[in-house]
């Protein structure tokens, strides 16, 4: 089973990328599961003390119910202490979705699963991570904006929190730059030249494809849940837009630019 995860900072183009890659007929894909980010601790040191609760089990089962996948769901029968058996169980459930669709590859996209790359790599041989990267100011402004509009789903309701999250998570993606089974995709390239970017992605995945995968609009409804109203524009025509002035005041823009000075991971060199 080939397992693919799209990870990255929220509002960096993860859904758009999924709509392209997941449109491949041999790849099974689905809405964000949040399986690992909700049921496991983000910090590696605490995962050995992880305890699988009934709430965790119900959370996973609810995903299968809401997506009409109960026919492939299986109850967890492993140890309730620790993270490895539970993680293998979750991976196995996603395998079953692909198997039920006669595929040997699936694509999962939850941006926050960036925090679990090390765990997932240690328990899966056939795993690939595709990281999305977006220009800092635009990504931070978009994250700040969506947090104010949808506080139940996003917690970066201040500019400082949005900046902090961007810096932390782009540094995570930086760690895997040039590593085997890690692909980094820039949002701006994906929007301006999707065909070229997707061709490179499938080349690295060692998968052939047809021109039909570029009809990404066909896949949007399958991967966006009804509650994710902030993704309503994902079916629109692709176009790069500068919304910085609409999302930040002049003083906020000045603060943002000041906070980004000296922050120069090589992953962001193209934006300097």
The string of pLDDT tens digits covering residues 62-117 is 999 999 999 999 999 999 999 999 999 999 999 999 999 999 999 999 999 999 99
CA separation for the pair 98, 104 (Å, rounded): 6
> Residues 39, 46: contact at Cβ < 8 Å?
no
- Rounded to the nearest angstrom, the gap between the alpha carbon of residue 3 and the centroid of all alpha carbons in its chain is 13
Confidence of residue 236 (pLDDT cuts 50, 70, 90): low
pLDDT in tens, 184-232: 999 999 999 999 999 999 999 999 998 888 887 766 767 876 666 656 5
Share of the chain above pLDDT 70, in %: 94
Query: What domains lie within the chain, and their CATH numbers?
Result: 2-135+177-237 (3.40.50.300)
Confidence of residue 272 (pLDDT cuts 50, 70, 90): confident
Q: What per-residue confidence (pLDDT) applies to 228?
A: 63
Share of the chain above pLDDT 90, in %: 85
3-class state of residue 12 by DSSP: coil
Count of helix runs (H) and strand runs (E) in the chain: 12, 5
Q: What per-residue confidence (pLDDT) applies to 184?
A: 98
């Amino acid at each position: 089973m080939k397992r693919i995860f799209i990870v990255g900072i929220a509002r960096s183009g993860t859904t758009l990328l999924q709509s392209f890659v997941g449109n491949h007929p041999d790849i099974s894909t689905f809405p964000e599961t949040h399986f690992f980010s909700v049921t496991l601790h983000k910090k590696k040191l605490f995962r050995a003390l992880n305890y699988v609760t009934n709430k965790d089990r119900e959370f996973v089962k609810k995903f299968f119910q809401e997506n009409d996948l109960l026919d492939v769901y299986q109850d967890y029968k492993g140890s309730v202490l620790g993270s490895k058996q539970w993680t293998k169980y979750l991976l196995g459930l996603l395998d079953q979705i692909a198997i039920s669709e006669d595929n040997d590859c699936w694509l999962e996209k939850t941006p926050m699963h960036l925090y679990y790359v090390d765990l997932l790599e240690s328990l899966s041989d056939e795993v690939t991570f595709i990281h999305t990267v977006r220009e800092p100011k635009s990504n931070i402004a978009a994250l700040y904006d969506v947090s104010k509009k949808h506080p139940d789903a996003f917690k970066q309701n201040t500019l400082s929190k949005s900046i902090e999250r961007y810096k932390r998570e782009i540094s995570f993606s930086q760690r895997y730059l040039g590593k085997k089974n890690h692909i980094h995709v820039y949002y701006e390239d994906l929007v301006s030249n999707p065909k070229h970017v997707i061709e490179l992605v499938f080349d690295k995945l060692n998968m052939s494809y047809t021109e039909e995968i570029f009809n990404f609009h066909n896949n949007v409804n399958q991967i966006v849940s009804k509650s994710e109203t902030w993704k309503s524009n994902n079916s629109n025509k692709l176009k790069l837009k500068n919304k910085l002035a609409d999302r930040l005041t002049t003083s906020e823009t000045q603060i943002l630019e000041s906070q980004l000075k000296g922050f120069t991971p090589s992953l962001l060199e193209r934006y300097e």
